Chain A
Amino acid sequence: MGKFFRRYWIPALLASELPGPECPPVRVKLLSERLLAWRDTQGRLALTDEFCAHRGVSLWFGRNEENGLRCPYHGWKYDHTGQCIEVPSEPTESGFCQKIKLASYPLVERGGVLWTYMGPAGEEPALPEWEFAMVPADRRFVTKRTQECNWLQALEGGIDSSHVSWLHRGDLTRDPLFKGARGNQYNLGDARPVFEVVESPGGLYIGARRNAEEGKYYWRITQWVMPSFTMIPPRGDHPVHGHFWIPIDDENCWAWSYDYKVTRSFTPEELSSMQAGKGIHVQYAPGTFRPNANKNNDYLMDREAQKRGETFSGISGIAMQDASLQESMGPVVDRTKENLVSTDNGIIMARHRLLRSVKAMIDKGVTPPGLAADHMRCRSAAVVLDHDQLFVEAARDALAIQPGLEHTTV
């Protein structure tokens, strides 16, 4: 899977973590590699090996100045591509420093996020064209948090619609970023959705179907684009949201969460809710990207709230309701002990698609799904359709970006 992830542009940091030229470098671990992100004197972005080639010192201690990062131990200096440009102890004429180069990856800014590509040079795919990254800054809100489990079991939670009516039932009527949508009446009126899973060019459409008015179904259609992008169907006029799960290593991942609107800015209430950790966002342990509610404090479990029915699991907040359970599965869940049921077919299909795509890439060099720009220009949708309509066909326009129009929603 590492080679698979490397084929894609993946979110690496928030742009705000590297606010300006010569700002302090930031340690970041991605795909089990220790890296250092920094911005040089001219504002050029750098993502390099964290450690000095001399004797393995962390360049986090480095001095970001004069178009390079200088190791404070013996003064070795590197440019933004990882090329060593100065070894003070060696004569310049020796050319020694030209033989030293740290691994480095391109780092680009789009949509308030710094994206990196860690794959073979010269095979970079199209730059990210996710809609949330293309709208004006006041129409999107992006956060990241650490999640202490393997990325795949987190993604599987993201594409498993069947848990929403259980785990998050309290939040449908309480969370300011979920409540009040007309479509919620269908959720609450039909607690047993039926699922249809359909292959999409980039991954899967996961359709959850509920009874609506006579002769009609209410469909909520989630997008999954490989390897780990999801978009949740909209509710009313609320911002649309979704996730990426990016491996830090085998036992930890970054959970990226975005919210956005297309044709309007967020209201003050929407923005303050997201900033306060409502919706799919969280409150943090100060100075970190670790959620304040975490496994060291039992996720601030509140049994009284559980008994009162405010939360189903006793954990507050949609994000941590998911993360707490996904982390409890273990750092890498043992799938040999699962007992899957019919409603898990979205997960089964996602695993199948992933494995098939990885094998095709490795064995035959087939380009994986999700790399093409039009795979990224997708949308989720909530629609009411006649009983006999194919949702993929009837909602075809709604499942792709429609410039100047909001998502199709109920």
Chain B
Amino acid sequence: MSSAHEARFRIDAPNSRPRQIAVIAIDAASEPWLRELQGVGLTHAHFFDGAELAADRLRLVDAIGGCDVVVMLATAGSDQGAVGVIGEECSRRRVSTTGLLYCPRGLTDDAVAASLRRMRPWMLMLVLASATGYAEDVLRSLRG
């Protein structure tokens, strides 16, 4: 039943509705990364500045309320002060969160650990990457 021949008879119809993904840069250093992702043509991804969301509750509720998944971009060693406010709202609404932490070369372990300390309480999944190119793959894999 799992042969190549049988694979031809799998139903060829959409099996899901598109997911809306909120992509949030939670520190200033990640804003260029966010802008880069905005330019790659992801149909169901919506891009936000984390500091602005954290400062405007109505806007935050609006951003999180309309999405299925939240992906937060962070750069290790930067100030992720916005993550608590955003993470709490995601938690309240039971929205799945993924953190992509870019760890530039040469950064100390203490700097990375400090960013992880802020992010860990709010992320269901954390990826530590040495380059930012991974984020596009994440968003496309999540059908953004």
Q: Which residues of A contact B (CB under 8 A)?
A: 148-149, 194-199, 251, 295, 327-332, 334, 337-345, 348-349, 351-352, 356, 387-390, 392-393
**Majority secondary structure of chain B interface residues (helix, strand, loop or mixed):** mixed
Residue B30 is within 8 A (CB to CB) of chain A in the complex: no
**Quick one: closest B residue to A338, CB to CB?**
B141
Partner of B137, one of A352, A388, A389: A352
Count of residues in B whose CB is under 8 Å from the partner chain: 34
- Would you call B127 and A345 a contact (CB within 8 A)? yes
- Would you call A340 and B142 a contact (CB within 8 A)? yes
- Would you call B2 and A342 a contact (CB within 8 A)? no
In residues 108-143 of chain B, which contact A (Cβ within 8 Å)? 109, 112-113, 116-117, 120, 123-130, 133-134, 137-138, 141-143
Please, how many angstroms separate the alpha-carbon atoms of A332 and B97 in the complex? 30
- B residues in contact with A197, CB < 8 Å: 125-128
Please, how many angstroms separate the alpha-carbon atoms of A345 and B142 in the complex? 10
**Which one of B3-11, B31-39, B57-65, B81-89 is at the A interface?**
B3-11
- A residues in contact with B116, CB < 8 Å: 388, 390
The 6 closest A-B pairs by CB, nearest first: A342-B125, A330-B7, A198-B128, A196-B126, A342-B98, A352-B137
- Would you call A149 and B137 a contact (CB within 8 A)? no
Q: Which residues of B contact A (CB under 8 A)?
A: 1-4, 6-7, 10, 15-16, 69, 96-98, 109, 112-113, 116-117, 120, 123-130, 133-134, 137-138, 141-143
Quick one: given A339-B143, A388-B113, A389-B113, are A327 and B2 in contact (CB under 8 Å)? Answer: yes
- Would you call B2 and A328 a contact (CB within 8 A)? yes
A327 smallest CB distance to B (angstroms): 5
- Would you call A345 and B2 a contact (CB within 8 A)? no
B92 smallest CB distance to A (angstroms): 17
**Quick one: closest B residue to A326, CB to CB?**
B2
- Would you call B1 and A348 a contact (CB within 8 A)? no
Please, how many angstroms separate the alpha-carbon atoms of A345 and B125 in the complex? 7
Instruction: Choose among B1, B113, B126, B127 the residue with the greatest number of A CB atoms under 10 Å from its CB.
Output: B127
**Quick one: closest B residue to A149, CB to CB?**
B2
Quick one: given A149-B2, A340-B141, are A199 and B128 in contact (CB under 8 Å)? Answer: yes
Quick one: given A327-B2, A345-B138, A390-B112, are A195 and B125 in contact (CB under 8 Å)? Answer: yes
Partner of B127, one of A196, A251, A330, A341: A196
